[in-house]
Amino acid sequence: MIVPLRAASGGDGLPARVDDGRIARAEAQLGFALHPLLARLYGEVADGGFGPDYQLLPLLAPDNGVVAEFLARRKASLGAEHPEWPDGVVPILTWGCGMYAAVDCFSEDGQVLLFEPNPYSGGSWAECWFLDSPGLAAWLETWLSGAGWFEEDAYERDDVSEPTPWEQAASRLSFAR
């Protein structure tokens, strides 16, 4: 996996890897298994601290970790008339301004989604969900090649794919209650 090389070159040092016991504890708290590639990243590379811009969140940090963020967003969605966060979708990186990159752990390839709440106008949150990449591996390849929409010079290039509306958003959110 080339990710450890790029991750290690991105800073002074990475957090320690997450052992199998902590991954199992995270999955127990989530109520579902992490996507296998995401679990491998935490288990074989580091507990976050690498990736595009703001970098992957730590898995079990109490305030800003993957599990804590997911549980807080799901709690706010349960029973809400308009749930904002679907089950099985874990936030892995914050882009700032309330935006997140998230992995759909229920999809075979681990779709990477973009949650962009800033244009929310009331009603369904489905309009705030976008498909950033069909899979986590492809998303990582985009980061490694410097070809993502999130790169500093992306607006100057014609070959950058921007996220598109997530077609499953409305149906997945309707089950979020």
Within the chain, residue ranges assigned H as helices are: 3-9, 20-30, 36-40, 66-77, 136-145, 169-174
> How many other CB atoms are found less than 10 A from the CB of residue 151?
17
Distance CA(9)–CA(28), nearest Å, equals 32
pLDDT for the residue 12: 63
Name the burial class of residue 175, with classes exposed (0-12), middle (13-18) and buried (19+) by CB atoms within 10 angstroms of its CB. Answer: exposed
CA distance 44 to 143: 18
Residue bearing the bigger pLDDT, 4 or 137: 137
Name all domains of the chain by residue range, CATH numbers in brackets.
13-143+159-174 (3.40.1580.10)
pTM, two decimals, is: 0.89
pLDDT tens for 5-17 read 445 444 568 999 9
Torsion sign, CA atoms 29, 30, 32, 37: negative
Total residues found in the chain within this entry: 177
CA separation for the pair 126, 30 (Å, rounded): 22
Q: Per-residue pLDDT tens for 96-138?
A: 999 999 999 999 999 999 999 998 888 899 999 999 999 999 9
Q: Report the alpha-carbon distance of residue 76 to residue 91 in Å, rounded.
A: 15
Query: Any residues with CB less than 8 A from the CB of 157 and at least 6 apart, and which?
Result: none
Indicate if the pLDDT at residue 174 is higher than 90.
no
Local structure of 102: helix, strand or coil: strand
Local confidence band at 154 (pLDDT 50, 70, 90 cut-offs): low
Tell me if 32 sits within 8 A of 88, measured CB to CB.
Answer: yes
